[in-house]
Chain A
Amino acid sequence: MRPSEGPLLVAAGLSRSFGPLQALRGVDLSLAEGETLVVYGPNGAGKSTLLRLLAGIMRPTAGEIRVGGRLVRPGDPASRRGIGLVSHHSFLYDDLSLLDNLLFAARLYGVRDAASVASRALEEAGLGARVHESPRSLSRGLQQRVSIARALLHDPLLLLLDEPFTGLDGASAGRLRASLARRAGEGRAAVLVTHQLAEAWELATRVAVLSAGRWVLEEPRAGAYAAFAARAEALLHA
């Protein structure tokens, strides 16, 4: 259960530097239950850094993040319990089977009946017949399906997705969209970052543009994709 009502995710004044490089500059964002924020930006805009900060993997240089009203800090494990992350890395161990990979993740999250949850997740990912294989035997797209299943094992309140459609075929991308839409209907929130806005457009309740670490535009999704894309491109090249 959430400890507080109000926005599910609040980030205030979020900044992150790597030496002289400022990867993120004072980002403010707020996300309510059931919302999906799609963040669009070119390579190097700071999208992955934003997700790593929101996930609590990386400390911000300035600013703070609250999920479900609770401050996300590396020293507070419980603050990360409601967060799931689909990274552009698979997070899978090549020397473990797919089932062992998911079982391990389920145990870290204290998922009840971890074995059956992990098996079911692999079935739903269409990999029920390959549970004892190593991730290295899978194509990039199939690995991505396992990564998504892994991130959803503990049914997170907030799902963070970094270019989640990479490698997925049409059917798998459709399944992911359906899953995200279903989760949104259940009050789960998501932040999806991409440089391919078109493929995530229909999922968004709000869209934002990140350029050189700055939050240059954020608004509810309305109107046609083409019109927004044209405005976003104009901002990026301004």
Chain B
Amino acid sequence: MRDAIVAAFAIAGKDLRAELRSRTALVSALVFAALILVVFSFSRDPARLAPADLAPSALWITFAFAAMTALNRAFSVEREHAALDALLLAPIPRESIYLGKLLGNLAFVFAIEAVTLPLFAVFFNARIGASLGGLALTSVLATTGFVAVGTVFSAMTVRTRFAELMLPVLLLPFMIPPLIGAVQVTVRLFADRPLSEVVGWLRLLAVYDVVFVTLSLVVFPSVVDE
């Protein structure tokens, strides 16, 4: 078990090190996230729609599409020079590969979210200070859910000809439950509603995470084995 976890961290560390060295996905995800925020911000008619009404949806659409950028690159880096074969040859469980990829993707998406959030606050004039703790928890729970599923789909589609097209097609239906939950919690957090109103949604997000991380661990070996 210890070796499996060490291997997972080695894979996550490798992915982050490679990304820090190239910065290609990070920069494109951030530019993309900023672009979405700008479009949402300027497409709103200030006389008819208050920023607070649009803000939760805009925030989570931004996070979701930025995550897609991360997930698209998760296994495409393993396709170059057939590096995935080297991972499959290594004396580590297939589940370690999944966990490593999941951890790397989560770190990447959380980094994008952390940078995007202040931008969001500026564009939507949102006072996020009071709800920062709740937002962080919601972000962890919702992001883990769709990144867990997306990591499996990324592995599944990487050998297909249209990987970058197939991934969103497969993943978007599975993103809907965590996104609905996250938006519902965010609406209430921004409206300073009591904690009791969001506990149910947070529980739902947590259950989604447990179910889909477990399912992903189970199916991943058959996804990567030829």
Say whether A and B bind each other.
yes
Binding site for B on A (CB under 8 A): 52, 55-59, 74-75, 77-81, 83, 85, 87, 89-97, 100, 104-105, 107-110, 135, 150
**One of A77, A92, A107, A108 near B81 (C-beta < 8 A):** A92
Q: How far is the CB of A193 from chain B (nearest CB, A)?
A: 15
Smallest CB gap from B96: residue in A: A77
Tell me the smallest distance from the CB of B82 to a CB of chain A, in Å.
4
A-contacting residues, B1-46, CB 8 Å: 3, 6-7, 10-11, 14, 17-19, 21-22
B94 within 8 A of A: yes
Contact of B91 with A105 in the complex, beta carbons under 8 Å: no
A87 touching B88, Cβ below 8 Å:
no
Decide: B91 and A59 in contact? CB cutoff 8 A.
no
| B225 interface contact, C-beta 8 A | yes
Given A56-B89, A57-B89, A108-B92, check contact A91 B17 (CB 8 Å): no
Partner of B80, one of A55, A59, A80, A93: A93
Starting from the known contacts A95-B22, A100-B14, A150-B86, 18 additional A-B residue pairs (CB-CB under 8 Å) come to A59-B226, A74-B88, A75-B221, A80-B91, A89-B83, A89-B85, A92-B81, A93-B81, A94-B81, A95-B18, A95-B19, A95-B77, A96-B18, A100-B17, A105-B86, A108-B11, A110-B6, A135-B81
Q: How far is the CA of A108 from the CA of B7 in the complex (A)?
A: 6
- B49 CB within 8 Å of chain A: no
Q: How far is the CA of A6 from the CA of B77 in the complex (A)?
A: 40
**Does B83 lie within 8 Å of A92, measured CB to CB?**
yes
The answer to the question of B134 belonging to the interface, with a C-beta cut-off of 8 Å to chain A, is: no
Contact between chains at A107 and B225 (CB < 8 Å) = no
With an 8 A cutoff between CB atoms, is B90 at the interface?
Answer: yes
Residues of chain A contacted by B90 (CB below 8 angstroms): 77, 80, 105, 108-109
Say how far A161's CB is from chain B's closest CB, in angstroms. Answer: 13
- Chain A residues with CB below 8 A from B17, complex form: 96, 100
In Å, the complex CA distance between A58 and B86 comes to 12
Using CB atoms and an 8 Å cutoff, list the residues of chain B in contact with chain A.
Answer: 3, 6-7, 10-11, 14, 17-19, 21-22, 77, 80-83, 85-94, 221, 225-226
Contact of A91 among B83, B94, B225 (CB under 8 A): B83
Given contacts A80-B90, A107-B6, A107-B10, contact A91 B82 (CB under 8 A): yes
Question: Are B94 and A89 in contact, with the CB atoms below 8 A?
Answer: no
Nearest chain B residue, comparing its CB with the CB of A56: B89
CB <8 Å contact, A93 and B10: no
- A104 / chain B contacts, CB cutoff of 8 Å: 10, 14
A56 to B82, CA, bound (A): 15
Query: Given A95-B21, A96-B18, is A77 in contact with B225 using a C-beta cutoff of 8 Å?
Result: no
Docked-complex contact B89 and A55, CB < 8 angstroms: yes
A102 to chain B, nearest CB (A): 12
